[in-house]
Structure 1
């Protein structure tokens, strides 16, 4: 199991997932940097993601949709706020309408991803922070925590495929 902990903190309005991988930091960084690899794990199983835009620079934007088993295509957006290759990545994120524009009612979250070298293995911490308790509750009720765990659970297979590179 990849995810070693998941912590909800109502005081800081955050959800933190910690996962460890049998790959070095440089390799794990690629699963964020390369949109084709990102697509292979970002959506939980059965909800593949398609990144139509992925400007991996501070101030850059990403736009994607997931395809549900029913064929619906819920969309999301990211705005990269900080990139410190290969150890730290931050972005604002939220839901998007069919034109890829942010859906204001839902609000935005902020994600901070850190990668630590564990002597050839990597610990990845993904912290999502929310604008309000209501938003956090809504996101958790929609299955965000479970979805993130399932999505991260797909990373090992992806890393194993490219370990020879």
Structure 2
């Protein structure tokens, strides 16, 4: 894509500032910057890979990793988060984790919405001008290459021809045959489908293209709500495509109880692949037949959807342990 890539080394004697206009909504860019399953795929200059040892993106928490250079050299990194404001801003100290680290500097990353795209600004502030000058040569180019990899990753997880957005990846400790059963048998869906803490009851399940999965769900002491799938594709054991809607007891389509601007239909594409007895699941989503307000609402809720599906897939993981 055509983009801006402005590098400033003269705006302040201790700063390096890099900017890029990214062709992705800022909720997604923020997720890709803060979720380990994404960041491990793009973090670091060209030819570098990253191993994440621990990562909790909260104020006062840390991200500890090792970058591996093309020549085999390992570079320890320790980030301590000072400010986390989703999806607008991250502020953190970046160093090696070595006592008295002379290479520590502060980073502020901002994510600005620009007509559905994201203006990314990364400002690194060093303790002194001489320390900035000592690293500026490779830091500027390394930063440029890292953001290039970020841009490539964003393009890879978005299908602009269909509007699908990759929401999350989850690796499950079970063979694909078992995961498929959990997705396609009513007794198992009743155990794990739905938000954490909710009880799900299956009213109907017809597993075929055009078939219906109709269910109710309720929090303890809360009102009963209804949902439904309409299956578009059932390709055992690797792929399920279905449209999710809020519903009523007659399987009709209804508005979401939390907003009149939530899209009526959400396309879900689930793809699964087995390796070494484990199953990696990828989830892609898209708002169907949505107007501008509904699209804006859908984009703004990316973080909530990641959290919601994450809790649901936690329940799936627990179920798989019991039926293995």
Give the TM-score, by structure 1 length: 0.89
Kept in 2, the 8 Å contact 1:111–1:128? The answer is yes
Paired residue for 2:18? 17
1:39 to partner: Cα distance: 1.6
1:147 maps to 2:142: yes
Paired residues in the alignment total: 159
**SS of 1:53 mapped into structure 2:** strand
1-structure distance, mates of 2:98, 2:88: 28
1:32 to partner: Cα distance: 1.3
Kept in 1, the 8 Å contact 2:64–2:77? The answer is yes
1:10 to partner: Cα distance: 6.7
Q: 1:105 to 1:24 in 2, by over 3 A?
A: closer
Kept in 2, the 8 Å contact 1:26–1:86? The answer is yes
2-structure distance, mates of 1:82, 1:105: 21
Q: Whose Rg is larger?
A: 2
1-structure distance, mates of 2:136, 2:121: 18
Paired residue for 1:137? 133
**SS of 1:63 mapped into structure 2:** strand
Kept in 2, the 8 Å contact 1:58–1:83? The answer is yes
Alignment of 1:24-103 (within 5 A): 24-95=25-96, 101-103=97-99
1:9 to partner: Cα distance: 3.0
1-structure distance, mates of 2:42, 2:99: 24
Q: CA RMSD in A?
A: 1.6
Kindly provide the CA deviation profile for residues 41-78 of structure 1, in whole angstroms up to 9, marking residues without a partner as x.
22111111222111100001011111111212111110
Paired residue for 1:162? 157
1:2 to partner: Cα distance: 4.9
Give the TM-score, by structure 2 length: 0.47
Kindly provide the CA deviation profile for residues 55-111 of structure 1, in whole angstroms up to 9, marking residues without a partner as x.
10000101111111121211111000000000100000112xxxxx33525241000
**SS of 1:80 mapped into structure 2:** strand
Question: Structure 2: which 5+ runs fail to align?
Answer: 159-163, 166-324
